[in-house]
Amino acid sequence: MIQASDVNIVLLLAACVGLHWILKYGTILNPIRNIITKVKLIKELFKCSLCLGFWCGLGVGLYYSDPVLLALASSGTCWFADNISNVLQSIEIKLDKQE
């Protein structure tokens, strides 16, 4: 049986993935992202879904729940979601070339 806490975990992880994608890919943040990624450490952070997902989870976790546990879960979830997105985009590009 699904409990309220299970829904909260799924919702928190979805929020972490959303935050990760907004920070990494959101076009509205391009001007800010272009400025802050001039710092090498930040630039490397934005290249790594595991890393950025961890920090998104830590930030959300500090506000809502256990920060370390959510940061670790968020890291894996963001990495997985980002890779699924990349695979789907690659398939779409391949299909477009075949037409």
Residue 59 has a pLDDT of: 93
Q: If we measure between CA atoms, which residue out of 65, 46, 58, 84 comes closest to residue 8? A: 65
Instruction: Name the phi and psi angles at 38, rounded to 5.
Output: -70, -20
**Looking at residues 23-45, what average pLDDT do you find?**
94
The number of angstroms, rounded, from the C-alpha of 43 to the middle of its chain's C-alpha atoms is: 15
What span, in angstroms and rounded, lies between the C-alpha atoms of 74 and 53? 5
What span, in angstroms and rounded, lies between the C-alpha atoms of 76 and 80? 6
Structural domain of 48: 4-98
Split at pLDDT 50, 70, 90, the class of 2 is very low
Instruction: Share the mean pLDDT of the chain.
Output: 90
